[in-house]
Amino acid sequence: MPIIEVRNVRKSFDGMGVLRDICFDVEKGEVVCLIGPSGSGKSTMLRCINLLEDIDAGKITVLSEDISAIRDINAYRRRVGMVFQQFNLFANKNVLDNCILAQMKVLKKDRKSAQETAMEQLKKVGMADFAKAYPSTLSGGQKQRVAIARALCMEPEIMLFDEPTSALDPEMVGEVLSVIRDLANEDMTMVIVTHEMAFAKEVADKVVFMDNGIILEEGSPEEIFNDPKNERTRQFLSRVIKKEFVS
Amino acid sequence: MSLQKCFEIILKYWPSFLLGIRTTLIVAISGTAIGLVIGLFVGGIRAIRLDKTSPVSLKLFKRFIDAVLKVYIEVFRGTPMMVQAVFIYYLVYTNIVHWDKMVAAIFVISINTGAYMAEIVRSGIQAVDPGQNEAGRSLGMSSGQTMMNVVLPQAIRNAFPAIGNELIVNIKDSSVLMIISITELMFQSNSIAGTTYRFTETYFVTAMIYLALTSISSVVLSRIERKLNHTRTSLPQSDTNAHSMAIARKGADYADN
Ligand SMILES: Nc1ncnc2c1ncn2[C@@H]1O[C@H](COP(=O)(O)OP(=O)(O)OP(=O)(O)O)[C@@H](O)[C@H]1O
Ligand SMILES: [Mg+2]
């Protein structure tokens, strides 16, 4: 059974359909990249999976639970990590405290063991030396790596990434992608919204192309990137890939 | 007006002035502190946005509480503190208990300040990036935990200038509490002026004292503000040598001069 199962999901804001009958699956250990033009509903889809938005119709099953029926939303969110485009590190806390706060509040760990976990995760993303630094002093790439470590401290079973590199200067994209690549190699289940086509091609087990609230095409990276069936997919890919060459 | 007379008044009546200063500071500082606590509660509750999935009963309860708090804020911001002071003092005095005037004064200035603080805190909370709240929630923290540990500390820091300003306002506006005869600075000045018949000189001295109190307060407040901002921008360093690095850099700055 898939670890995430999205069935006929609909969602609208102010009468405007943003998700219009979305279906897709994510298997355990799979990396699914969600691509598509701006405004196509990719962020909304991720936010629905994390219950930051609720759906109007359809069903999302995660870790064998219908998430709209979940009572303890906080316990559920703990199991599904989320990384945002704008990092959203806690501005009033240093790097280490960013990583231990939820461990202590949600997992009820004591400070010492929370710190151990935090340092371990920070080491993994190469940010252990910055444990005492405040977010405002870090570069975008460093912030995003800390945000990933913070999410990993909760030992999530699934990670959701919403354009993790879109707010970064080009020279910092690589360091964040390499952290995500490491996670993929550890068989973390991930859903990644991204505009980095080369990266999607490299790490994804499955690529889902969304446009205007519906999934137009999905398949292996080879299928989508080398031999797209849909005309819109072709147009979109030629546009972004051209842009990648220019930059 | 003669400056010489001013000095004579100070020399002769300084103990009365000092008592007035003391009472004024006690009332203003405790009123601001208690008002801040009230404001944190009231503003914090008003800023809570319930999840769409919350039960209807909770949503209705929240609506009711919001309405009550709104009335509190409007009433205390919309009427003069002098009127609030006499009304509340006599209301309690005649109906409930013969309470101490000082207690009454601190009570009135606290709930008056609380009404202003509530709005300061609420707009401070709303000014915090919603992404901060979402990040907390996405890690599994409840809205209360996220509010207390992430949003509120940032709101207070952002709103600190406005919060500090309430202290300065209270140092001045506590003068209206003379209406219930507490021995604050304005009340003392009135009695000094009444004995000396030197109205201009006495109130000139009084004005200078108020000016000194408010100036000192703003210096202290801006010091605190700078301290608060410092922690946010501390240098990215490993372990504890961040602090010594900061000191070393400061030294270098001085050497440059
Ligand atoms: N909270 C909201 N209220 C109203 N409209 C919203 C809200 N969130 C998103 N939308 C609208 O829904 C549509 C889809 O938005 P979404 O952010 O999901 O797109 P996206 O695919 O992530 O785009 P991008 O690549 O620009 O991030 C957009 O038209 C957006 O304006
Ligand atoms: Mg988006």
- Tens-digit pLDDT profile for residues B39-95: 999 999 998 877 766 788 999 999 999 999 999 999 999 999 999 999 999 999 999
* Alpha carbon of A38 to ligand 2 centroid (Å): 7
Mean pLDDT score, B234-241:
36
Q: Centre a 10 Å sphere on the Cβ of residue B93 and count the other Cβ atoms it contains.
A: 14
What DSSP character marks residue B181?
Answer: T
Task: Work out the minimum CA distance from B147 to partner chain A, whole angstroms.
Answer: 12
Are B100 and B168 in contact by the 8 Å Cβ rule? The answer is no
For chain B, the average pLDDT equals 88
Per-residue pLDDT, B232: 56
Residues of A in contact with B239 (CB under 8 A): 131-132
Ranges of chain A with pLDDT below 50: none
Number of compact structural domains in chain B? 1
Angle between helices A95-105 and A111-124 (to 10 degrees): 130
Residues of B in contact with A154 (CB under 8 A): 139-140
Given a cut of 70, whether residue B131 has pLDDT beyond it is yes
For A149, name the nearest residue in chain B, comparing CA atoms only: B139
Beta carbon of A18 within 6 Å of any ligand 1 atom: yes
CA–CA separation, B19 and B14 (whole Å): 8
- B136 vs B249, more confident: B136
Residues of B in contact with A134 (CB under 8 A): 231-234, 236
* Alpha carbon of A158 to ligand 2 centroid (Å): 19
Residue A70 DSSP SS3: coil
Given a cut of 60, whether residue B236 has pLDDT beyond it is no
Beta carbon of A194 within 6 Å of any ligand 1 atom: no
- The helix (H) or strand (E) run that includes residue B230 is helix B199-232
Say what the ipTM of the complex is.
Answer: 0.91
Characterise A43 by phi-psi region: left (phi > 0), alpha (psi -120 to 50), beta (else): alpha
What ligand 1 atom has the least distance to the C-alpha of A41? 18
Contact yes or no for B141 and A73 at CB 8 A: no
A155 interfacial to chain B (CB closer than 8 Å): no
Beta carbon of A145 within 6 Å of any ligand 1 atom: no
Q: Identify the band that residue B241 occupies on the pLDDT scale cut at 50, 70 and 90.
A: very low
Given a cut of 60, whether residue B235 has pLDDT beyond it is no
A203 interfacial to chain B (CB closer than 8 Å): no
Given a cut of 60, whether residue B256 has pLDDT beyond it is no
* Alpha carbon of A11 to ligand 2 centroid (Å): 15
Best CA proximity match to A172, nearest among A225, A209, A119, A127 = A127
Question: Which residue, judged by its Cα, is nearest atom 30 of ligand 1?
Answer: A39
Length of chain A measured in residues: 247
* Alpha carbon of B138 to ligand 1 centroid (Å): 19
Per-residue pLDDT, B80: 97
A89 interfacial to chain B (CB closer than 8 Å): yes
Given a cut of 90, whether residue B231 has pLDDT beyond it is no
Residues of B in contact with A90 (CB under 8 A): 132, 135-136, 149-150
Mean pLDDT score, B131-148:
93
Residue B193's CATH number: 1.10.3720.10
Q: Identify the band that residue B194 occupies on the pLDDT scale cut at 50, 70 and 90.
A: very high
Please report, rounded to a whole number, the percentage of residues in chain A having pLDDT higher than 90. Answer: 88
Contact yes or no for B234 and A77 at CB 8 A: no
Task: Work out the minimum CA distance from A224 to partner chain B, whole angstroms.
Answer: 31
B66 lies in which domain range? Answer: 3-256
* Alpha carbon of A70 to ligand 2 centroid (Å): 25
Contact yes or no for B132 and A88 at CB 8 A: yes
A75 interfacial to chain B (CB closer than 8 Å): yes
Given a cut of 80, whether residue B242 has pLDDT beyond it is no
Best CA proximity match to B234, nearest among B220, B244, B222, B221 = B244
Question: What value, to the nearest 5°, has the Cα angle with vertex A159 and ends A156 and A165?
Answer: 140
- The helix (H) or strand (E) run that includes residue B120 is helix B101-127
